[in-house]
Chains A and B, each alone.
Chain A
Amino acid sequence: SMSRPKTYIWGRVNVRTFVDALTKQGITDIKVEETEDGSIIDLPNDDTLIQVEPESTHIICEGNEVIRIKLRDTLLKCLQKL
């Protein structure tokens, strides 16, 4: 059966910190575009767009699961957990 995580995540993503963490993970092809509500991080080599807003992040990943999980875990380190 499927388990749902018991941790809640909160806070805001510091885009610069997140991008630095991605670079340390070996992801170097990163384009950041500022939008009205936040940022769009484009990872063309990994077929991924990440939409970061104050209260939400959307990872739109057309790449493989390995990259999605790497992005997920890197992002979670930039957020607070309860």
Chain B
Amino acid sequence: LVMRGNKLRLIDPGQALCELGLEEHQLRFTSTVYVEEDGPPTKTADKIYQLIKSKVSDTPAQYSSDGSITMSDSVLIKVSGDEESKSVLVSWSHQDEDLGSYLLQILKTGLVT
């Protein structure tokens, strides 16, 4: 709710911040899951993509050929490593906290054996 002159208006909080001249503070989290799994990193990435699709049906996931997966506005999942061991980076902004922390949890329980 923003007052301008004598008028009150109901506007989106992001727009209100902008109109009030306030800078939004971007808060981002990155955590890593380590996986011992034979095969190329893209195979692990594909497995993660299938796992996510089965667990989170209401938010679409985009899979890139470099083995990274993006979801919502800010979530990034990226697999790197070699034939034996992989690290899975999971990164999200505060706006996607529920989704990001849920994905981290399912990757920790669903990948690490």
Listed in ascending order, the chain A residues whose CB lies under 8 Å from chain B are: 1-13, 54-62, 65, 68, 72, 75-76, 79-80, 82
Number of residues from B at the complex interface, CB < 8 A: 29
Listed in ascending order, the chain B residues whose CB lies under 8 Å from chain A are: 13-14, 16-17, 22-32, 56, 58-59, 72, 94-99, 101-102, 104-105
In the complex where A4-B96, A59-B30, A62-B31 touch, is A13 in contact with B25 (Cβ < 8 A)?
A: yes
Q: Say whether B28 contacts A56, CB under 8 Å.
A: yes
Q: Say whether B25 contacts A9, CB under 8 Å.
A: yes
In the complex where A2-B59, A4-B98, A5-B97 touch, is A75 in contact with B24 (Cβ < 8 A)?
A: no
Residue of B at shortest CB range from A63?
B31
Chain B residues with CB under 8 Å of A68's CB are 29, 31
Report how far A52 CA is from B24 CA in the complex, Å. Answer: 14
Select the residue from B24, B72, B94, B105 with max chain A CB neighbours within 10 A: B94
Report how far A11 CA is from B24 CA in the complex, Å. Answer: 7
> Least Cβ distance of B77 to chain A in Å?
15
Q: Say whether A57 contacts B26, CB under 8 Å.
A: yes
Q: Say whether B29 contacts A2, CB under 8 Å.
A: no
Q: Say whether B13 contacts A8, CB under 8 Å.
A: yes
Chain B residues with CB under 8 Å of A82's CB are 13, 16-17, 22
In the complex where A59-B28, A68-B29, A75-B27 touch, is A5 in contact with B95 (Cβ < 8 A)?
A: yes
Report how far A75 CA is from B14 CA in the complex, Å. Answer: 20
Report how far A59 CA is from B94 CA in the complex, Å. Answer: 11
> Least Cβ distance of B80 to chain A in Å?
15
Chain A residues with CB under 8 Å of B104's CB are 65
> Least Cβ distance of A78 to chain B in Å?
10
